Chains A and B, each alone.
Chain A
Amino acid sequence: MNDLPGSPSGKRWIQWMDIRGKGAGNWGFLVNRLAGLGLTLYLFMHLIVLGKLSRGADAYDGFVKLAHHPAIIAGEVLVVLAVLLHGFNGIRILLTSFGLEVGRQRFWLIVAAAIAILSGLYFSMRMAGVL
């Protein structure tokens, strides 16, 4: 298969981690693999926890009280950041897949990460009532 310059070979998973001397496309690939794994784990935890809704107000509200723990809040900020990174970087990957902006993967990776981090921080502060 004729891979694009800087695109992952996909032949060996361990090559995800080995980004030495490779282009921005590999960083983007690694970011989306790791964020995607984390988000899948979160998705299933989220669905399981929401099951408390079927057991009435006390069960759910009791859990929400527990979830005000700083560690859980920090985890939620990470989830929001992971969603935005995976999403904006995913759009960049989609464009690359269709042959657009292939030579400027580093630029668009930085743009995607910057938008994700800034909007993630803004959203987290709004969610926490800081702004």
Chain B
Amino acid sequence: MMPHGQRENGWIWLVKQLSGGLVFLVILIHLVVNHLVAEGGLLTYNDVVNYFSNPWIAGMEIFFLIVVVGHSLLGIRSIVLDFNPGIVFLRIVDLVLSVTGAAAIVYGVWLTLTITSVV
């Protein structure tokens, strides 16, 4: 896919591609470790809290959160660009997506710290 529209510049496109590669790598780890390696598949509160007590796991999940939120919102932006939005509308979309992404990341980090401090 070539960068399309005149407003998805090459850098944003490159970030989307590279974050996509990172997301895929980490999501495979996330799925395999959370469901197949972790005893019982993390289906209880205690399992989740024990799992997150490992700082490497908590760190990996926060890294994953940041990259996957960024990649998904850049993807939504690409879809918005397919509608050929006006520049003002696009700026509003950019603002909404930025605030949503920042809120999701702050919330996810807060949640991670909340459950890691339970132990």
| Contacts A40-B72, A61-B45; A53 near B2 (Cβ below 8 A) | no
Partner of A53, one of B27, B48, B75, B79: B48
B114–A53 CB distance below 8 A = yes
- Chain A, range 1-30, C-beta contacts under 8 Å to B: 1-4, 7-13, 16, 25, 29
Interface string of B1-43 (1 = CB under 8 A from A): 1101100000000000100110110011001100110000101
Interface of B, helix, strand, loop or mixed by DSSP: helix
**Count of chain A to chain B residue pairs whose CB atoms are closer than 8 Å in the complex:** 98
Question: Please, which residues of chain B bring their CB within 8 A of the CB of A69?
Answer: none
* A-B pairs with lowest CB-CB distance, top 10: A10-B4, A13-B82, A57-B45, A87-B24, A60-B45, A40-B72, A36-B75, A127-B35, A54-B114, A90-B20
Given contacts A47-B108, A53-B45, A57-B44, 7 further A-B contacts (CB under 8 A): A3-B4, A43-B69, A57-B45, A80-B31, A94-B20, A123-B35, A126-B36
A10–B36 CB distance below 8 A = no
**A39 proximal to B (CB < 8 A):** yes
| Contacts A40-B76, A47-B107, A126-B35; A12 near B20 (Cβ below 8 A) | no
Partner of B36, one of A9, A33, A44, A127: A127
A94–B36 CB distance below 8 A = no
A3–B2 CB distance below 8 A = yes
**B50 proximal to A (CB < 8 A):** no
When C-beta atoms are compared, the residue in chain B nearest to A43 turns out to be: B72
Residues of B within 8 A of A (CB): 1-2, 4-5, 17, 20-21, 23-24, 27-28, 31-32, 35-36, 41, 43-46, 48-49, 68-69, 72-73, 75-76, 79, 81-84, 104, 107-108, 111, 114-115
Bound form: Cα–Cα A61–B45 in Å:
6
Question: Please, which residues of chain B bring their CB within 8 A of the CB of A33?
Answer: 79
Write the nearest CB–CB distance from B104 to chain A, whole angstroms. Answer: 6
Bound form: Cα–Cα A4–B114 in Å:
49
A53–B20 CB distance below 8 A = no
